[in-house]
Amino acid sequence: MTLRNLGKSGLRVSLVGLGCNNFGGRMPDVEPVRAVVHRALDLGITLFDTADVYGNRGRSEEMLGEALGPRRKDIVLATKFGMPMSDNARPRDASRGYIMKAVEASLKRLNTDWIDLYQVHRPDPKTPVDETMRALDDLVKQGKVRATGCSNYSAVELDGAQDAAAGAKVMPFATAQDEYSLLARGIERELIPAMQQSHMSLLPYFPLASGLLTGKYRRNAEPPKGARLAASKHHAADFISARNWSLVEKLEAVAQKSGHSMLELAFGWLLAKPILGSVIAGATRPEQIEQNVAAAQRRPPSAVLAEIDAITR
């Protein structure tokens, strides 16, 4: 598995990462989680991304920590904080007091002494960004965190955070995690240029548009049983639209003509971007891990990538 740098953090990660948001939710039992995690490890995946709120508030971290066991030392472990962990909590919290409690809770659930990449899940408008950046830097100095990142920040919010870090002479964000795929390219306008200015790496989530870019869904047909868009009306409403069906059908025509799968088109287009650190894709079965890794290794030629870029631009 090829490795890439995460910004200027010194962390190196596999081209394909494993998103662990299904653990504790769609995957309530630990044995299927263990099978997915161990297959990912065996195939050379080194980036495992979760969040404290995943899996009904905490269960994803617990299951990941249990499944990794002694192999935790072989990976880059990423998690997030800031979303409400109880019904009466603030909608978003990146205050110093909260960060210090949240990191200890995550370390305990993950059964580890350190977190490689600690990310603010969503910006907190009520906390001065200088306070957040200083608190995160203290965690780095304490050895509890190796690098920091953000998720779902606008370009203006990102610039503010990086400027605050520079002003305080503390560690800036190394990564940003945002939705990015052939069907969702809005961050190209402002966020990606801001990230490039700060020499950051992008960790795209929903790189397969919740499965719409895998080729397993068909317009006006029932989704496969157990698939995410069948199980979640919320995700289905976000991704299923006339516009997306039209693009998917055009991409399928290119896939058929070029001899590449939809998965290979989706992964290859992303991995051609120098700013990409790793493609974080979720999985509920070991076979999905195998398919993702194989797709990343069989990339379409530049002419095919240029064609699908033009279709979705």
> Are the C-beta atoms of 16 and 208 separated by less than 8 Å?
no
Beta bridge partners of 202: 176, 276
Q: Which amino acid is at 201?
A: S
Q: Kindly give the pairing relationship between strand 145-151 and strand 175-179.
A: parallel
Would you state the structure tokens that stand for residue 52, as one six-digit string?
């404290």
Question: Which two three-digit tokens encode residue 159?
Answer: 């610039």
Among the listed residues 54, 98, 118, 217, the single catalytic one is 54
Strand partners of residue 99? none
Annotated active-site residue 153? The verdict is: no
Q: What is the 3-state secondary structure (H, E, C) of the chain?
A: CCEEECCCCCCEEECEEEECCCECCCECCHHHHHHHHHHHHHCCCCEEECCCCHHHHHHHHHHHHHHHHHHHHHCEEEEEECCCCCCCCCCCCCCHHHHHHHHHHHHHHHCCCCEEEEEECCCCCCCCHHHHHHHHHHHHHCCCEEEEEEECCCHHHHHHHHHHHHHHCCCCCCEEEEECECCECHHHCCHHHHHHHCCCEEEEECCCHHHHHHCCCCCCCCCCCCCHHHHCHHHHHHHCCHHHHHHHHHHHHHHHHHCCCHHHHHHHHHHCCCCECCEEEECCCHHHHHHHHHHHHCCCCHHHHHHHHHHHC
Q: So which residues are the catalytic ones?
A: 54
